[in-house]
Amino acid sequence: MSTSPRWDESEIIEFVSLVAGGQSYCLEITQIREIRRWSSVTPLPYSERSVLGVMNLRGAVIPIIDLSEKLSLGPTDPTERHVIIVVANKDRTIGLLVDSVSEILTVKGEAIRETPNVKGESSIKAISGLLSIEEEMSRVIDLGALLPGHQDEAA
Amino acid sequence: MTVAILAIDDSRTIREMVSRTLTGAGFDVTTANDGAEGVEAFATRRFDAVVTDINMPRLDGFGVIEAIRGGDTNRRVPILVLTTESGPALKDRARKAGATGWIVKPFEDRAFVDVLNRVTGRD
Amino acid sequence: MSESLRDMFFAECEDLLDALSEGLARMGEGTQDGETVNAIFRAVHSIKGAAGAFGLEAIVGFAHSYETVLDRVRSGELEPDAETLRTIIRSSDVLSDLVDAARNDRDDTPEAMGPLLEALTALSAASAHAAPARPAGEAAVFEPMAAMPIAILPIEGQEARFAIDFTPERSLFDNGHDPARLLKALGALGRLDLLCDTAAIPVLGTFDPEEPFLSWRMVLEGDIAEGEIRNVFSFVEGLCRLSVIRLDDDAPAPFDVCAEAPRIAAEEAKPDPVPVPPMPGPDDPGEPGATAARSTPSASAPPPSAAPPAGANSAARPTLRVDPERVDRLINTVGELIINQAVISQRLAALGAEPNSEIMGDLDDYRHLARDIQEGVMAIRAQPVKPLFQRMGRIIREASEALGKDVVMVTEGEGTEVDKTVVERLADPLTHMVRNAVDHGIESIADRRAAGKPDQGTVRLLAAHRSGHVHIEISDDGGGLHRERIFQTAVDKGLIPPDAKLTESEIDNLLFLPGFSTASKISKLSGRGVGMDVVKTAITSLGGRVTIASRPGAGSTFSITLPLTLAVLDGMIVTVAGQTMVLPLHSILETIRPNTRDVRPLGAEGHVLSIRGSYVPIISLAHVLGLSDEPFDPQSCIFVLIRTEGSSPVSLAVDSISDQRQVVIKSLEGNYGTIPGISAATILGDGKIALIVDTDTVVVLAAQNPSIQMFRNKDESHEHLAALG
């Protein structure tokens, strides 16, 4: 299996590992603005199923997306124990609802494997690489592919 | 000793450019937005040199030179004309009006600073 | 954070282009004065000057030709006829395009540039053959400058000796030169030996301190070229007697060294015994004394009394340039302050404070102060609509030219101030409407003649403040809307059933339906794939409304009403399917708590509300917005009567009404996108988010889906709307 072309082999990258829909994922730490507990949101009309609604983040209105649903792993029933990861993606700030956040991983670029093509799985477009962590496999989320920005939509 | 320069130009961009260049070279720069403001500023303190544009509202560069040369304070201050054109006619006219020298826009930072060093006698 | 010079340049270009088009508009109207042409010339000249500093050759080149012609107009040498004026105006468009291209790092040249350059050249060349009405002005001579005129030439190791004789004349001192500095500059070139000749100094009794008496004889040695020496004296040419002679290597030095400091005549020559007329006061550059004080009168110099005539509004008003981000931050903070006031008010009420208690009175003062601050901050962002209107002038020119029509723009109330963001975001919809007015509104010249109208059509732009709102009108004196054609188009596109009974106003408003103006009847101008629905969306997103009035044969008027500010909204707080939402107060006519018998079913699922003898359709907000799966029970609702785009009002059913107050608008578009039926959001006193309802789209949504039950399934409704979009 080849390494993921996205990172240089010698590059040191920090990830935050998390669990969504029962699976292990990770996000580059530089994309994360903050992590907070779930609190109730205001639902939006005519939104996709994965959009839970909007919440107030220090005066800004940010949409909250159910990561599990977005990855086609089924809806999450949010409770006090769930966590929202606030991420900055291009020109938008968005909250991702996940089951939990576990740890910070420091890895070298060469340790990230390229995502193999799995037939019939469209959601893996949002996985930019795979990481092995003590027998476990963690999937690196490609925010740009998961949440297209304004420009992408306009195009 | 700091050397004080009065820069007069109605273009915000040129003003800022002159100001950044000269301040960076250690001059103490005061700016004015047009000729009338420039003459007003000139009366407030002693300047070691004046850099002025020609085409400006209210009072043009020739007017500035005449006001300073015809005034009774510091009237022999070096005055440099900062212009886009460099025709001999302009130079002649500027000289007749009493300009010390002229600098053509776009100016090269180093050369600009050199000229000011020269006319102000700064080392 | 300091603004980059490049950004500053383009911001300045905007201002200058605005000033340019303002001046040109006056010339077009024939209301210019001397200062108008001066200001026009200066705007072009300043753009050229600064563009040169950035190496933007295309702009410099064009601006130069442009400016040359303007200079001729300014000097009275060229009396602009209609054709010349057209060239001058179109040149401003090209200049604007060039600036735009440079800003976007494009190097394409506007199509119109070639022919215009020829026209400009012809206009400026005319002077070459005519008698020179004035001495060659500076603008007539142009050399693209590589660098300074005093470039220092590099010299290869060539040892040389020069004898230099230098005798300053009085004018040298008058022009601000100091021999000591020149000598110092010479000294920097090589080894300098110098002798100061003091023989000409007279006895003290006849000494005139204004006269120079000293001269210098020097020998300069080193790796020096004669050009370098000439260079040092380049500024004083004609202000002194100078001779520079290259000496043979073995020639003896022509004099002995004199180390006397040669400063005597330069700065110590005071006091000044020569009576000099008083300097004109700085506030009054036009005082005749200024002219009298000129030491060297020059025929070509303009009188220094070039002060603008009184009342010329181009005179600089002292202004403050502020980073817009700082203002936005302030606006946000004030917004928070108002929310904070609402929180405190709620808390106090919860603690049992009486509405007319002292503390509530104090809180009321607090609210007033907060509003005052808010208004003050908003005023910082306010800008006149004038530049926007001026841009429309260009659109009209281009459109009428392309269509072979003769259309003039008339503006009114262009000093009306509107929030900066509103001005910016109005540009596109206004452009579209103005183009439409020229294209579809104004008839062809033949048709106008047939109708007994003047050949020249008029598009009128009006801006005014009316009852706390900004009112903008775009009207034309064209043929008015073709209602039958609009109706037929809407039927053809399946937007309305063929047997629909619509009022005139309702037909007019069909123009705003998404999908109305599509490919079939798009002309090359108004087309561009956007219809009036986009105009409407843009205006709605600004919290505004747009309506049409049209009279066959007499023309059409599009009226836009906008809030004064984008930051706050007067809203009614309601509950819909358990959620708090905000209805904009400006669209509300009244609220009604009906009797059971006032609500009547109509059709399978529809309901109407009987008010004072008329029947008004009921729309369940919860169902239209897909917030409720329950069957609609009109009996448990409160109704909010809202005005709509057409004439007839509609009643929105909500669960309850809790309050009426100002809310701070938070855009959803930045982080999310547009939502049908929702214009924005706000943050309530408890920190929760409430959505602000866009009543106009709600009505459209309901009208397009007579069976509101369709919205029950969330995902289905989403697909449905996507298909509509």
User: Which pLDDT score is estimated for C565?
Assistant: 67
Q: Cβ(C442)–Cβ(C476) under 8 Å?
A: yes
Confidence band, pLDDT 50/70/90 cuts, at residue C125: low
- Helix, strand or coil, per DSSP, at residue C434: helix
Q: Cβ(A25)–Cβ(A33) under 8 Å?
A: no
Chain A residues in contact with C328 by the CB 8 A cut-off are: none
User: Which pLDDT score is estimated for A63?
Assistant: 93
Confidence band, pLDDT 50/70/90 cuts, at residue C494: confident
Return the partners of chain A (3 or more C-beta pairs < 8 Å). C
Return the higher-pLDDT residue of C150 and C145: C150
Helix C57-74 to helix C82-103 angle, to the nearest 10 degrees? Answer: 150
User: Which pLDDT score is estimated for C313?
Assistant: 42
- Helix, strand or coil, per DSSP, at residue C220: strand
Residues A29-58 have a mean pLDDT of 89
Q: Is the pLDDT of residue C30 over 80?
A: no
Chain C residues in contact with A49 by the CB 8 A cut-off are: 714-715
Q: What is the DSSP letter of C577?
A: T
Give the closest-approach CA distance of C434 to chain A in angstroms.
25
Residues C218-239 have a mean pLDDT of 79
Confidence band, pLDDT 50/70/90 cuts, at residue C84: confident
Residues C93-98 have a mean pLDDT of 87
Residues C142-165 have a mean pLDDT of 50
Selection from C266, C94, C108 nearest residue C180 by Cα? C266
Q: Is the pLDDT of residue A25 over 90?
A: yes
**Is C174 touching B (CB cutoff 8 A)?**
yes
Q: Do B14 and C276 touch (CB under 8 A)?
A: no
Q: Do C677 and A46 touch (CB under 8 A)?
A: yes
Q: Is the pLDDT of residue C439 over 50?
A: yes
- Helix, strand or coil, per DSSP, at residue A119: coil
Q: Is the pLDDT of residue C519 over 80?
A: no
User: Which residue ranges make up each domain of chain C?
Assistant: 5-130, 159-247, 324-382, 385-563, 568-724
In order of B48, B67, B119, the CA distances from C236 in angstroms are 18, 21, 11
Q: Is the pLDDT of residue C485 over 60?
A: yes
Residues of chain A with pLDDT > 90: what percent? Answer: 36
Q: Is the pLDDT of residue A124 over 80?
A: no
Return the higher-pLDDT residue of B118 and C657: C657
Return the higher-pLDDT residue of C124 and C480: C480
Residues C568-589 have a mean pLDDT of 88
* CATH 3.30.200.100 for domain C385-563: no
Nearest CA in chain C to B37: C282
Q: How far apart are CA A34 and CA A55, in angstroms?
A: 14
Nearest CA in chain C to B19: C5
Nearest CA in chain A to C722: A46
User: Which residue ranges make up each domain of chain A?
Assistant: 12-154
Most confident of A19-23, C535-539, C656-660: A19-23
Q: Is the pLDDT of residue A83 over 90?
A: yes
Nearest CA in chain B to C182: B118
Q: Is the pLDDT of residue C269 over 80?
A: no
Confidence band, pLDDT 50/70/90 cuts, at residue A54: very high
Residues C88-93 have a mean pLDDT of 86
The shortest CB-CB distance from C279 to any of B71, B79, B103 is to B71
Residues C111-137 have a mean pLDDT of 62
Strand partners, A17: A26
What is the b/e burial string over C336-367, where b = at least 16 CB atoms within 10 angstroms of the residue's CB?
Answer: ebbbebbeebeebeeeeeeeeeeeeeebeebb
The shortest CB-CB distance from C285 to any of B63, B78, B106 is to B63
Write phi, then psi, for C105 (nearest 5 degrees): 55, 30
Peptide bond into A78 cis (omega under 30): no
**Is A32 touching C (CB cutoff 8 A)?**
no
Q: Which residues contact A41 (CB under 8 A, 6 or more apart)?
A: A52, A53, A54, A55, A64, C689
Pairing of strands B28-32, B4-8: parallel
Q: How far apart are CA C591 and CA C577, in angstroms?
A: 18
User: Which pLDDT score is estimated for B121?
Assistant: 76
Amino acid at residue number C124 = S
Q: Is the pLDDT of residue C724 over 60?
A: no
Confidence band, pLDDT 50/70/90 cuts, at residue A58: confident
Selection from C36, C98, C110 nearest residue C63 by Cα? C98
User: Which pLDDT score is estimated for B8?
Assistant: 92
- Average pLDDT of chain C is 75
Q: 3-state SS of chain B: helix, strand, coil percent to 5?
A: 40, 20, 40
Give the closest-approach CA distance of C442 to chain A in angstroms.
33
What is the DSSP track for C687-715?
A: S-EEEEE-HHHHHHHHHH-S-GGGGSSHH
C234's tokens: 């380049």
- Average pLDDT of chain B is 83
Confidence band, pLDDT 50/70/90 cuts, at residue C558: very high
User: Which pLDDT score is estimated for A41?
Assistant: 92
* For testing contact with chain C, the best of B37, B85, B90, B110 (most C CBs within 10 A): B85
User: Which pLDDT score is estimated for C126?
Assistant: 58
User: Which pLDDT score is estimated for C691?
Assistant: 94
Residues C366-378 have a mean pLDDT of 83
Chain B residues in contact with C135 by the CB 8 A cut-off are: 89
- Which helix H or strand E contains C231, and what residues bound it? helix C226-232
Mean pLDDT is lowest, of A30-44, C228-242, C548-562, for: C228-242
Write phi, then psi, for C334 (nearest 5 degrees): -65, -40
Chain A residues in contact with C673 by the CB 8 A cut-off are: 150, 153
Fold that domain A12-154 belongs to in CATH: OB fold (Dihydrolipoamide Acetyltransferase, E2P) (2.40.50)
Q: Do B20 and C5 touch (CB under 8 A)?
A: yes
Q: What is the pLDDT of residues B31-72, one digit of tens each?
A: 998 888 888 888 888 898 899 988 887 788 888 888 888 877
User: Which pLDDT score is estimated for C249?
Assistant: 55
Selection from C628, C553, C565 nearest residue C371 by Cα? C565
- Helix, strand or coil, per DSSP, at residue C65: helix
Nearest CA in chain B to C49: B84
Q: From the CA atom positions of chain C, what is the Rg in Å?
A: 37
- The CB density around residue C90, as the number of other CB atoms within 10 Å, is 21
Write phi, then psi, for C668 (nearest 5 degrees): -95, -15
A1's tokens: 């299996």
Residues A100-112 have a mean pLDDT of 87
The CATH architecture that domain B4-84+96-118 belongs to is: 3-Layer(aba) Sandwich (3.40)
In order of A85, B42, C341, the CA distances from C274 in angstroms are 81, 22, 71
Q: Do B87 and C136 touch (CB under 8 A)?
A: yes
Confidence band, pLDDT 50/70/90 cuts, at residue C136: very low
User: Which pLDDT score is estimated for B86?
Assistant: 64
Return the partners of chain B (3 or more C-beta pairs < 8 Å). C
Distance of CA A49 to the CA centre of its chain: 17
Chain B residues in contact with C148 by the CB 8 A cut-off are: 103-104, 107-108, 111-112, 115
Q: Number of B:C CB contacts under 8 A? A: 215
Q: Cβ(C58)–Cβ(C109) under 8 Å?
A: yes
Amino acid at residue number C101 = A
Q: Which residues contact C664 (CB under 8 A, 6 or more apart)?
A: C335, C336, C338, C339, C567, C568, C682, C683
Residue given tokens 């009035």 in the structure block: C549
In order of C55, C161, C164, C252, the CA distances from C247 in angstroms are 43, 5, 10, 9
Return the higher-pLDDT residue of C90 and C289: C90
State the virtual CA torsion across A58, A60, A63, A64 in degrees, nearest 10: -10
State the virtual CA torsion across C415, C416, C418, C420 in degrees, nearest 10: -10
Return the higher-pLDDT residue of C312 and C633: C633
Strand partners, A96: A65, A85
Residues A72-92 have a mean pLDDT of 89
* For testing contact with chain C, the best of A33, A40, A41, A46 (most C CBs within 10 A): A46
Q: Is the pLDDT of residue A21 over 50?
A: yes
Give the closest-approach CA distance of B89 to chain C in angstroms.
7
Strand partners, C165: C217, C243
Selection from C301, C42, C313, C41 nearest residue B56 by Cα? C42
Residues A69-84 have a mean pLDDT of 91
User: Which pLDDT score is estimated for C139?
Assistant: 35
Q: Is the pLDDT of residue C134 over 80?
A: no
Q: How far apart are CA C701 and CA C699, in angstroms?
A: 5
Q: How far apart are CA C150 and CA C229, in angstroms?
A: 11
**Is C322 touching B (CB cutoff 8 A)?**
no
pTM for this entry: 0.45
What is the b/e burial string over B40-68, where b = at least 16 CB atoms within 10 angstroms of the residue's CB?
Answer: bbbeeeebbbbbbbbbbbbbbbbbbbbbb
Q: Do A61 and C332 touch (CB under 8 A)?
A: no
Nearest CA in chain A to C677: A45
Residues C693-705 have a mean pLDDT of 81
User: Which pLDDT score is estimated for A20?
Assistant: 93
Fold that domain C159-247 belongs to in CATH: Alpha-Beta Plaits (3.30.70)
Q: Is the pLDDT of residue C517 over 50?
A: yes
Q: Largest Cα–Cα distance in chain A?
A: 46
Residues C72-85 have a mean pLDDT of 80
Q: Cβ(A72)–Cβ(A123) under 8 Å?
A: yes
Asked if A touches B (at least 3 Cβ pairs < 8 angstroms), the answer reads no
Q: What CATH number should be reported for the domain whose range is C5-130?
A: 1.20.120.160
Q: What is the pLDDT of residues C606-622, one digit of tens each?
A: 888 888 888 888 899 99
Q: Do B36 and C296 touch (CB under 8 A)?
A: no
Query: CB-side exposure of C683: number of CA atoms within 13 Å?
Result: 23
Q: What is the pLDDT of residues C274-326, one digit of tens each?
A: 443 444 444 444 434 333 333 333 444 344 443 444 444 444 456 677 777 78
The shortest CB-CB distance from A46 to any of C336, C671, C676 is to C676
Return the higher-pLDDT residue of C313 and C545: C545
Residues C392-419 have a mean pLDDT of 87
Q: How far apart are CA B86 and CA C149, in angstroms?
A: 8
* For testing contact with chain C, the best of B51, B55, B110 (most C CBs within 10 A): B55
Q: How far apart are CA C528 and CA C428, in angstroms?
A: 12
Q: Is the pLDDT of residue C686 over 80?
A: no
Confidence band, pLDDT 50/70/90 cuts, at residue C582: very high
Q: Cβ(C543)–Cβ(C520) under 8 Å?
A: no
Q: Do C290 and B107 touch (CB under 8 A)?
A: no
**Is A46 touching C (CB cutoff 8 A)?**
yes
Query: CB-side exposure of C466: number of CA atoms within 13 Å?
Result: 12
User: Which pLDDT score is estimated for A53?
Assistant: 93
Q: Do B106 and C53 touch (CB under 8 A)?
A: yes
Fold that domain C568-724 belongs to in CATH: SH3 type barrels. (2.30.30)
User: Which pLDDT score is estimated for C566?
Assistant: 66
Q: Number of A:C CB contacts under 8 A? A: 73
Strand partners, A42: A54
Distance of CA C22 to the CA centre of its chain: 12
